[in-house]
Amino acid sequence: VSCVYYGLAGFFFGIASIMNLTVLAIVRFMVSFNLHSPRENISWKLVKILCVWTWLYALIWALLPILGWGRYGPEPFGLSCSLAWGQMKHESFSFVISLFSINFLVPCLVIVCCYFSIALKLYFAYKTSTNSNHLPNFVKLHRRLLIIAILISGGFIGCWAPYGLVSLWSILKDSSKIPPQVSLLPCMFAKSSTVYNPMIYYFFSQSFKQEVKKLRWICLGSNPCHAS
């Protein structure tokens, strides 16, 4: 039972993460239509609706294996619990193909297309500017946000792509033929996806860096921190 709950939680947050990145890419693309006044293209109400939809969508997919389409169990790598890839070769093969195409390939394609389009818009904004050292503030802001979004999305895809491919291989072929050393790497990459996001924000977001420096729990001892 604990393995099922562990697998459900991991699958739920994994789907929610990639769908959040997909929604973020779409929102950034919508905002790029009018770089001068981004609020004219999207409202906070729409953003909240998209966020709620993202988590409900992830919850529905996470409940499907419990309802009979798919199955939770030990991973083929034997390190933790997730979708029981090795046990879904026949009865839940359609679930695996649908999951891989709808929740990985399509979001990756949407993310790449959106950010490629935004990059083109910023490129032409730079090209039309007479002096690259005096670019409008909104262009610099969008450039910085674009870099952060691309790094986060690229890191997520790069970390989960090996895991998805090896898991798909365990469905199509025999997972026992995968060497233990090779099967360990995809899990390590996938689990590291929650580590690099704070690092990206710390190096590319001044406001995030300032908030981190204000945290008192990073100081040793019980005495309050004092700025030197």
The residue type of 104 is: F
DSSP for residue 224: P
Name the region of 174 (left: φ>0; alpha: ψ -120 to 50; beta: rest): beta
Report the first-to-last Cα separation within the chain, whole angstroms: 52
Q: Can you tell me the distance from the alpha carbon of 130 to that of 106, in angstroms, rounded to the nearest whole number?
A: 39
One DSSP character per residue, 188-206 reads HHHHGGGTHHHHHHHHH-H
Tens digits of residue pLDDT in 18-68? 898 888 888 888 877 766 555 556 777 888 899 899 999 999 999 988 888
Tens digits of residue pLDDT in 81-99? 777 766 666 666 788 888 8
pLDDT surpassing 50 at residue 227: no
Q: Judge residue 206's burial from the number of C-beta atoms within 10 Å of its C-beta, 0-12 exposed, 13-18 middle, 19 or more buried.
A: exposed
Tens digits of residue pLDDT in 145-175? 778 778 877 887 887 787 777 777 777 776 6
One DSSP character per residue, 67-123 reads HTSS-EEE-TTSSSEEE-GGG-SSTTHHHHHHHHIIIIIHHHHHHHHHHHHHHHHHH
Q: Look at the alpha carbons of 81, 83, 85, 90 in this order and tell me if their dihedral is positive or negative.
A: positive
Sorted by where each begins, the domain ranges of the chain are: 2-206
Percent of the chain clearing pLDDT 90 (strictly above): 6
pLDDT band at 104 (very low <50, low <70, confident <90, very high): confident
Which one of 3.30.1330.10, 1.10.4030.10, 1.20.810.10, 1.20.1070.10 gives the CATH number of domain 2-206?
1.20.1070.10
